[in-house]
Amino acid sequence: MKYHEYVKKMQNNEYDFDAGMLSEFEVDVPDGLHLSIMNTIEKERMRKRNVWNKTFSSIAAAVIIFVISIAGFKDTLKLPAKLENQTAKNSTNLIEPKIEMNNEKSENLESKGKLIEDNKNNISIKKEEFKEKQNTATSNKKNKIKTISNEKRTLIALNDKKEESNYTNKNNITSDVLTSDNKMITIKPEEDSDDQVVPIGYIYSQANMSNISEISKSSLMTTLLASSLPIDYIATVDKNQKDIISFIYNNPNVILIDTNNSIYRLQKQDLSVLSNMINSQSMIYSETGINGINTYSQNNIREYYFVKITIK
Amino acid sequence: MEERELISRCQKNDIEAFERLILTYEKKIYNLCFYMLKNTEDAKDASQEVSLKIYRAIDKFKGESKFSTWIYRITYNTCMDYIKRRKDELSFDDIINSEGHLSNKVENIIENRELQHDIKRCILRLSNDFRTIIILRDISGLSYQEIADILNIEVGTVKSRLNRARESLRNELIKCGIVRGC
């Protein structure tokens, strides 16, 4: 027994021991220690594996998100250019009918002036003043059209010239769009087409929105905008034609007017979703990723559905 | 199977090889833990922690030192962490109880159990540094160089510290009446 020798050496103050003289003092490993060690190792192994799986799946998800976001970014890069072109195109389209409208206005006023003179009602319209006004208005209008894309506005498309040809202009000119601060551009269809030929459309200032009682767009817009859901698009949809007649992208810098082209970000299948949504009078149509609230309004000619769309 | 091959297999995440490797060193790890921590429960916990550390870090073992030295170093560092963490040093009674519990197991094997018991008790009374170096040299039988590597000190320091540790142990043995003082 070496530890006896160890003690003897200690007794004699000799510290020159061989290594491991007290090796008999080694204690035995308690029962179950090996098992618990291996359990710990096994747990660690599983944890490592889970960590790897999680890491791998999160990397895969990140890659997918990255790819999707890159694709989306490309789309958004393309969109403004396309929109600019479209806005310019639409603006020119808008200018032309308005000029025509003003010409017609002047003709009508001239005829009215003649009638007034004949009837000696002391009402005269000075052609020159009117022309000046018209010129000023035309230039203002161009400026307005340029700035219109920088403000958040509601536009309701002007289309369907056939219908408009039947309208009258009586009591319709409530404000000169060219000098007022317009927030909404729309057509006001008139039922009582008595005597005169009507211009293709009228532009109403926001101050006169109350006149558009059939649709009450301003209150609708207020409701939509005040709602807590974020708005991506607001569309005005013609139920009968199953077509979007106006479409507003909720970006203050972008206004979309044109029916066909303004649905750039909406896929074709989304149109059918809108249509289904309207037909079912569903407030939320979530199956296809579109959430919307639709509001119905009607005049004699058309049914309007204002759909607030949130693309998921 | 050679130790190097086992290590290589462990580095490839072979759990069977790891089990065989840990079986080889389990006793050494546990003994160092036991003598350093002076407590069977702490020694068990520390042994588990050491094994886990070995498993996690075996990829980083490049064979620059002996594998046993690497393991002892991990064990020593783990035990030192335990000692630092432990707010109150165990009372002498705890040591005696722990020792007594162990000696009951061992007494059937060893003839002169009282002497062994007393020597162990005297070792456990030594300070951390002295106790560690006595364990590594006299119980585990490591070379000076290995001890120097484990404790991260010079070989000369190992020798001088070992000498002082033995003197200190001798004094304890005198106090217990095992060795007569002169």
Domain that holds residue B114: 94-182
What is the structure's pLDDT at A48? 86
Does B83 share its domain with B103? no
| Distance separating the N- and C-terminal Cα atoms of chain A | 82
Q: What is the DSSP string of B99-129?
A: HHHHHHHHTTT-S-HHHHHHHHHHHHHS-HH
Give the total number of structural domains in chain B: 2
Give the pLDDT band of residue A294 (cuts 50, 70, 90).
low
Query: Would you say residue B70 has pLDDT above 90?
Result: yes
With beta carbons less than 8 A apart as the criterion, state whether A11 and B9 touch.
no
CATH number at B77 reads: 1.10.1740.10
Does B68 share its domain with B111? no
How confident is the model over B104-144, as pLDDT tens digits? 444 444 456 778 888 888 998 999 899 999 999 988 889 99
How confident is the model over B88-103, as pLDDT tens digits? 555 444 544 454 444 4
ipTM of the shown complex: 0.77
Give the residue with greater pLDDT, A50 vs A123.
Answer: A50
Calpha distance B35→B58 (Å, rounded): 25
Q: Which residues contact B24 (CB under 8 A, 6 or more apart)?
A: B3
Does B155 share its domain with B142? yes
Our CA-based measurement puts residue B176 at a distance from the nearest CA of chain A, in whole angstroms, of: 12
With beta carbons less than 8 A apart as the criterion, state whether B38 and B94 touch.
yes
- Inter-chain residue contact B112 with A4, CB threshold 8 Å: yes
Give the pLDDT band of residue A74 (cuts 50, 70, 90).
confident
Calpha distance A101→A135 (Å, rounded): 13
Where b means 16+ CB within 10 Å and e means fewer, A180-191 reads bebbbbbbbbbe
- Inter-chain residue contact A41 with B55, CB threshold 8 Å: yes
Give the residue with greater pLDDT, A131 vs A69.
Answer: A69
Calpha distance B125→B35 (Å, rounded): 10
With beta carbons less than 8 A apart as the criterion, state whether A165 and A130 touch.
no
Strands annotated E in chain A: 154-155, 184-185, 233-238, 243-249, 290-298, 303-311
Give the residue with greater pLDDT, B65 vs A278.
Answer: B65
Our CA-based measurement puts residue A13 at a distance from the nearest CA of chain B, in whole angstroms, of: 8
Calpha distance B121→A262 (Å, rounded): 91
DSSP A251: B
What is the structure's pLDDT at A88? 63
Average pLDDT (A57-76) is 84
CATH number at B125 reads: 1.10.10.10
Chain-centre distance for alpha carbon B162: 15
Our CA-based measurement puts residue A27 at a distance from the nearest CA of chain B, in whole angstroms, of: 6
Among B52, B139, B179, whose Cβ lies nearest the Cβ of A41? B52
Residue B34 forms contact with A (CB below 8 Å):
yes
Does B61 share its domain with B82? yes
Does B6 share its domain with B65? yes
Does B109 share its domain with B83? no
Q: Last residue of some domain: B90, B107, B132?
A: B90
Does B80 share its domain with B101? no
Query: Would you say residue B27 has pLDDT above 50?
Result: yes
Kindly list the residues from chain A whose CB atom is less than 8 angstroms away from the CB atom of residue B55. 41, 44
Query: Would you say residue A217 has pLDDT above 70?
Result: no
The ranges assigned to domains in chain A are: 56-311
